[in-house]
Protein backbone atom coordinates (compact mmCIF):
# COMPACT_ATOMS: atom_id res chain seq x y z
CA UNK A 1 0.00 0.00 0.00
CA UNK A 2 1.46 3.37 -1.00
CA UNK A 3 1.25 6.54 1.08
CA UNK A 4 -1.24 8.17 -1.28
CA UNK A 5 -3.83 5.40 -0.93
CA UNK A 6 -3.84 5.39 2.90
CA UNK A 7 -5.92 8.61 3.35
CA UNK A 8 -8.41 7.41 0.74
CA UNK A 9 -8.95 4.12 2.57
CA UNK A 10 -9.27 5.95 5.90
CA UNK A 11 -11.90 8.28 4.45
CA UNK A 12 -13.78 5.30 3.02
CA UNK A 13 -13.82 3.65 6.46
CA UNK A 14 -15.15 6.83 8.05
CA UNK A 15 -17.89 7.10 5.45
CA UNK A 16 -18.86 3.46 6.08
CA UNK A 17 -19.09 4.07 9.84
CA UNK A 18 -21.17 7.22 9.24
CA UNK A 19 -23.56 5.35 6.96
CA UNK A 20 -24.01 2.58 9.55
CA UNK A 21 -24.75 5.20 12.23
CA UNK A 22 -27.28 7.00 10.03
CA UNK A 23 -28.97 3.71 9.16
CA UNK A 24 -29.46 2.99 12.88
CA UNK A 25 -30.52 6.52 13.83
CA UNK A 26 -32.86 7.29 10.93
CA UNK A 27 -35.79 5.13 12.14
CA UNK A 28 -35.84 6.91 15.52
CA UNK A 29 -35.65 10.35 13.89
CA UNK A 30 -38.43 9.38 11.50
CA UNK A 31 -40.54 8.03 14.35
CA UNK A 32 -40.44 11.27 16.28
CA UNK A 33 -41.01 13.37 13.16
CA UNK A 34 -44.09 11.36 12.30
CA UNK A 35 -45.25 11.34 15.90
CA UNK A 36 -45.12 15.12 16.28
CA UNK A 37 -45.92 16.35 12.77
CA UNK A 38 -47.93 13.63 11.06
CA UNK A 39 -50.25 12.21 13.69
CA UNK A 40 -52.94 9.88 12.32
CA UNK A 41 -55.84 11.72 13.96
CA UNK A 42 -54.32 15.19 14.36
CA UNK A 43 -54.63 15.30 18.15
CA UNK A 44 -51.96 16.00 20.75
CA UNK A 45 -50.15 13.15 22.42
CA UNK A 46 -51.62 12.02 25.72
CA UNK A 47 -48.36 11.09 27.40
CA UNK A 48 -45.61 13.60 28.10
CA UNK A 49 -42.64 13.42 25.73
CA UNK A 50 -39.45 13.74 27.77
CA UNK A 51 -36.79 16.12 26.52
CA UNK A 52 -33.97 15.51 27.09
CA UNK A 53 -34.43 11.77 27.11
CA UNK A 54 -32.71 9.69 29.76
CA UNK A 55 -30.81 6.46 29.21
CA UNK A 56 -32.25 3.42 30.96
CA UNK A 57 -30.32 2.15 33.94
CA UNK A 58 -27.31 -0.08 33.37
CA UNK A 59 -27.66 -1.51 36.89
CA UNK A 60 -28.11 -5.22 37.45
CA UNK A 61 -31.22 -5.81 39.55
CA UNK A 62 -32.79 -8.98 40.93
CA UNK A 63 -36.11 -10.29 39.73
CA UNK A 64 -38.60 -11.73 42.21
CA UNK A 65 -37.03 -15.17 41.78
CA UNK A 66 -33.62 -13.83 42.78
CA UNK A 67 -32.14 -13.98 39.28
CA UNK A 68 -30.16 -11.14 37.73
CA UNK A 69 -32.09 -8.73 35.54
CA UNK A 70 -30.95 -5.72 33.55
CA UNK A 71 -32.70 -3.54 31.02
CA UNK A 72 -30.40 -5.06 28.39
CA UNK A 73 -32.67 -8.11 28.52
CA UNK A 74 -35.46 -6.07 26.94
CA UNK A 75 -33.25 -4.10 24.55
CA UNK A 76 -34.54 -3.52 21.02
CA UNK A 77 -38.15 -3.45 22.29
CA UNK A 78 -40.58 -0.77 23.33
CA UNK A 79 -40.78 -1.15 27.11
CA UNK A 80 -43.65 -0.13 29.40
CA UNK A 81 -42.28 0.52 32.89
CA UNK A 82 -44.33 0.62 36.08
CA UNK A 83 -43.19 1.01 39.70
CA UNK A 84 -45.25 -0.58 42.49
CA UNK A 85 -45.29 -1.68 46.11
CA UNK A 86 -45.79 -5.36 46.85
CA UNK A 87 -49.31 -4.61 48.14
CA UNK A 88 -50.44 -3.61 44.65
CA UNK A 89 -53.80 -1.88 45.16
CA UNK A 90 -56.74 -1.52 42.76
CA UNK A 91 -55.22 1.44 40.87
CA UNK A 92 -51.95 -0.45 40.56
CA UNK A 93 -53.66 -3.56 39.20
CA UNK A 94 -55.85 -1.56 36.82
CA UNK A 95 -52.74 0.13 35.43
CA UNK A 96 -51.13 -3.25 34.82
CA UNK A 97 -54.34 -4.41 33.15
CA UNK A 98 -54.35 -1.34 30.87
CA UNK A 99 -50.82 -2.16 29.75
CA UNK A 100 -51.70 -5.78 29.08
CA UNK A 101 -54.75 -4.83 27.03
CA UNK A 102 -52.89 -2.12 25.10
CA UNK A 103 -50.22 -4.66 24.21
CA UNK A 104 -52.76 -7.36 23.30
CA UNK A 105 -54.61 -4.90 21.05
CA UNK A 106 -51.57 -4.80 18.76
CA UNK A 107 -52.17 -8.37 17.62
CA UNK A 108 -49.16 -9.78 15.79
CA UNK A 109 -47.15 -6.67 16.72
CA UNK A 110 -47.49 -7.19 20.46
CA UNK A 111 -44.10 -8.90 20.49
CA UNK A 112 -42.57 -5.46 19.95
CA UNK A 113 -43.63 -4.47 23.48
CA UNK A 114 -42.17 -5.67 26.79
CA UNK A 115 -43.41 -4.83 30.29
CA UNK A 116 -41.21 -4.34 33.33
CA UNK A 117 -42.64 -3.79 36.82
CA UNK A 118 -40.23 -2.65 39.52
CA UNK A 119 -41.23 -3.60 43.07
CA UNK A 120 -39.79 -1.17 45.62
CA UNK A 121 -40.01 -3.35 48.73
CA UNK A 122 -39.24 -6.94 49.70
CA UNK A 123 -42.80 -8.03 50.40
CA UNK A 124 -44.26 -11.03 48.55
CA UNK A 125 -46.51 -10.46 45.56
CA UNK A 126 -49.91 -12.13 45.52
CA UNK A 127 -49.96 -15.39 43.59
CA UNK A 128 -53.10 -14.27 41.74
CA UNK A 129 -51.31 -11.13 40.54
CA UNK A 130 -48.43 -13.18 39.15
CA UNK A 131 -50.85 -15.55 37.42
CA UNK A 132 -52.75 -12.66 35.84
CA UNK A 133 -49.58 -11.16 34.37
CA UNK A 134 -47.27 -14.07 33.49
CA UNK A 135 -45.41 -12.15 30.76
CA UNK A 136 -44.35 -9.26 33.00
CA UNK A 137 -40.79 -8.93 34.29
CA UNK A 138 -41.21 -8.34 38.05
CA UNK A 139 -37.98 -6.83 39.37
CA UNK A 140 -36.86 -5.63 42.82
CA UNK A 141 -35.42 -2.11 43.05
CA UNK A 142 -35.47 0.74 45.55
CA UNK A 143 -37.23 3.96 44.64
CA UNK A 144 -33.89 5.79 44.92
CA UNK A 145 -32.42 3.47 42.27
CA UNK A 146 -35.25 4.37 39.91
CA UNK A 147 -35.64 8.12 40.42
CA UNK A 148 -32.37 8.90 38.64
CA UNK A 149 -33.59 7.52 35.30
CA UNK A 150 -37.39 7.72 35.50
CA UNK A 151 -37.76 11.51 35.22
CA UNK A 152 -40.66 13.32 36.82
CA UNK A 153 -39.97 16.96 36.06
CA UNK A 154 -37.00 17.86 33.88
CA UNK A 155 -37.26 19.04 30.29
CA UNK A 156 -40.73 18.03 29.22
CA UNK A 157 -42.86 18.89 26.22
CA UNK A 158 -46.40 17.95 25.40
CA UNK A 159 -49.36 17.31 27.66
CA UNK A 160 -48.37 17.00 31.33
CA UNK A 161 -51.76 15.52 32.13
CA UNK A 162 -51.75 16.77 35.71
CA UNK A 163 -50.09 19.42 37.85
CA UNK A 164 -49.66 16.78 40.56
CA UNK A 165 -46.59 14.91 39.32
CA UNK A 166 -46.31 12.67 42.38
CA UNK A 167 -43.67 9.92 42.53
CA UNK A 168 -42.31 7.31 40.13
CA UNK A 169 -44.98 4.92 41.45
CA UNK A 170 -47.69 7.18 40.05
CA UNK A 171 -46.82 6.87 36.35
CA UNK A 172 -46.19 4.49 33.49
CA UNK A 173 -42.99 5.28 31.58
CA UNK A 174 -41.99 4.21 28.07
CA UNK A 175 -38.47 3.32 26.95
CA UNK A 176 -37.70 3.14 23.25
CA UNK A 177 -35.77 0.30 21.54
CA UNK A 178 -32.53 2.29 21.73
CA UNK A 179 -32.71 2.38 25.53
CA UNK A 180 -34.04 5.90 26.14
CA UNK A 181 -36.85 6.73 28.56
CA UNK A 182 -38.89 9.01 26.28
CA UNK A 183 -42.45 9.26 27.62
CA UNK A 184 -44.28 9.54 30.93
CA UNK A 185 -48.04 9.08 31.19
CA UNK A 186 -50.40 11.02 33.48
CA UNK A 187 -50.93 9.72 37.03
CA UNK A 188 -52.19 6.15 37.13
CA UNK A 189 -55.33 7.07 39.07
CA UNK A 190 -56.43 9.29 36.16
CA UNK A 191 -55.11 7.13 33.31
CA UNK A 192 -57.52 6.88 30.36
CA UNK A 193 -57.17 3.59 28.55
CA UNK A 194 -58.21 4.68 25.05
CA UNK A 195 -55.76 7.60 25.02
CA UNK A 196 -53.03 5.43 26.53
CA UNK A 197 -53.56 2.73 23.90
CA UNK A 198 -53.57 5.27 21.06
CA UNK A 199 -50.21 6.69 22.15
CA UNK A 200 -48.69 3.21 22.18
CA UNK A 201 -50.19 2.54 18.75
CA UNK A 202 -48.74 5.78 17.38
CA UNK A 203 -45.26 4.90 18.58
CA UNK A 204 -45.37 1.51 16.90
CA UNK A 205 -46.98 2.91 13.75
CA UNK A 206 -44.40 5.69 13.41
CA UNK A 207 -41.37 3.47 13.90
CA UNK A 208 -40.08 0.35 12.19
CA UNK A 209 -37.65 -0.43 14.99
CA UNK A 210 -38.38 -2.58 18.00
CB atoms within 10 A of CB 39: 15
pLDDT band of 143, cuts 50, 70, 90? very high
Residue 2 lies in a domain: no
pLDDT of the residue at 53:
85
Residue 33 lies in a domain: no
Mention every residue, 6+ apart, whose C-beta is less than 8 A from residue 62. 68, 69, 139, 140
* Residue-range definition of the domain harbouring residue 181: 43-206
pLDDT band of 52, cuts 50, 70, 90? confident
pLDDT digits (tens, 9 = 90+) for 164-184: 578 999 999 999 999 999 999
Residue 10 lies in a domain: no
Residue 174: give its domain's CATH number.
Answer: 3.40.30.10
Residue 154 lies in a domain: yes
**pTM for the whole thing?**
0.77
Domain tally for the chain? 1
Residue 22 lies in a domain: no
- 55-77 burial, b if ≥16 CB within 10 A, otherwise e? ebbeeebeebeeeebebeebeeb
In this structure, of 34-38, 57-61, 63-67, 152-156, the range with the lowest mean pLDDT score is 34-38
Residue 31 lies in a domain: no
Q: What whole-number distance in Å separates Cα of residue 166 and Cα of residue 4?
A: 63
Contact in structure between 160 and 151 (CB atoms under 8 Å): no
Residue 3 lies in a domain: no
pLDDT of the residue at 159:
47
Amino acid sequence: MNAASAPAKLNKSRITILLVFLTCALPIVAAFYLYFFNKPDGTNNYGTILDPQVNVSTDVFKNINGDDFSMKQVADKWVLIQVINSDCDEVCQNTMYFQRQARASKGKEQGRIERVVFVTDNGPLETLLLRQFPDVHFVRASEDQLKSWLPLEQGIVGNKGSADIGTVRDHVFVADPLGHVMMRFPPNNTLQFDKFRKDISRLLWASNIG
